[in-house]
Structure 1
């Protein structure tokens, strides 16, 4: 067992280009990481190349007292994904600079500057045994607590969708009454009577921002003709009309209404905003109100046989119609809503 006084450690700041050189000369060695995680970290650098890029310190060990001027081999305890991703940036730069797209070339130049001028901090241990290094590697990779989705949305201000999600949820009391599951990525019906999860709320807001049916939520800044506050007002107004179709206290109950089904909510959001990209904010708002008001004649009860005509299945226990959460099914629902809305307009 090692005694604490025998362990020396230090913090240094290392240029990224020097870090890459250490790897190329095999002076810095690391465990082969998962390539998917490496790609995610490179994507993080790409998405934030104009802003602030935060790289957690690398943790390394040298078996003997040494410095970077020595030929001693350093072993990465924590940070293999970061090290490999940084080493692969040079190849990424070559690919970007060889592109015919102006934006890709610009991105390649930015990443090249990041390699030349960027730094990473390193926590350097000396004299740790092989067993200790292996145990630390296991501890770092198995005992860390994953950040809850609610915390990511609350504090990750880099995402425009996160900021809009926070504002919509804070400003809409009826949405709070309907219930938003804060920790789980999905709401299992009929047991969970919350209307939707925080992750699902972000998906709906992404539909309004991109004015398109999205399955994956885009990251970072999103180009839009509307301001953040206008997006908040638009989504809030949509929820106002949604809660006119069903009371917020019961809208999450699957035995009461099919509006508790997320595929239908997804389709409703798309139906409300589709084909409005050419409109001003006031025009979008008026169009949304007209479309949503026209749905008041639809029977949204779970007993309506129309729902079984869409891709769906029956729940074994309660004989509920459960709509399939696929892009094709959501598009079919949105098309049907549009057809019904025309009937509603004519009726009014």
Structure 2
């Protein structure tokens, strides 16, 4: 039985990983959290505070064979820090590499790092797809910090026996999701008419249950070592299709007005909301073929099933 340390155990993704690992008898979970709390089925819970270079991971890493590092300074939409990149680096780079270095000293075999598709970039032309081995092109401080952490981890792997596994998910959705996806759900739930009935973009998403399944597969799959994997549901949706899918899953059809995307982009530019328009109207597709082939994996849930599970429903 392997002992797995999970950071960020109370977060949106971390809590789902806790639930998923509880079903796998061959793994014993050790959870790292910022403050005292009660967590499901864990062998131990370690309070480590805010993650950074100064954290002592000694007790938490005892007898651990695999680390799943899900804790991070997440993408902040309205960052008020004087220098956002400095703040991201404290946690996402320095904190990550300190944990990895201490993991090496503790004899940990594998380190699974939850990165972000933002390492690849913010958008890609319709019909093209980001691939795991593409040249990285992060556009914001969050994406840059994630790339720098990846690069530091791979350097450690090159000179030690620690196996690194990097997973880059696109937008993750599921029960309790926050951020832009949660805002979209609220708008559909309220029945507010939205001018997004004629968008023809394509975006890859990953349901949280699919992502957790992939993470668990990477804990002990021999072909995962020192690889980068992209995550996804295997089916891409336009913003129009996504809103309609949310409505169906919610049992309350979305009210969509077919406004041409060009008009929306122009209006957004005039209002200084071009970045928001890009997220709604631009395309971001990922190629998960390497993930599926190398790990003999496929998403256990379709995107339609994933949306249903957002609301505690199933097909």
TM-score (norm: length of structure 1): 0.24
TM-score (norm: length of structure 2): 0.26
Structure (1/2) with the larger helix percentage = 1
Name the larger-Rg structure. 1
